[in-house]
Amino acid sequence: KAGVTQTPRYLIKTRGQQVTLSCSPISGHRSVSWYQQTPGQGLQFLFEYFSETQRNKGNFPGRFSGRQFSNSRSEMNVSTLELGDSALYLCASSPGRGRNTIYFGEGSWLTVV
Q: Does 12 bind other proteins (CB under 8 A)?
A: no
Q: Least distance in Å: CB of 77 to other proteins?
A: 20
Task: Collect contacts of 35-38 with beta carbons under 8 A, ≥24 apart.
Answer: 35/89, 35/90, 35/91, 35/92, 36/60, 36/87, 36/88, 36/89, 36/90, 37/87, 37/88, 37/89, 37/90, 37/107, 38/86, 38/87, 38/88
Which x/- pattern, by CB under 8 A, does the window 13-52 give for other proteins?
--------------------x-x---xxxxx-x--x----
- Which residues of the shown chain bind other proteins in the complex (CB under 8 A)? 4, 33, 35, 39-43, 45, 48, 55-56, 90, 99, 101-107
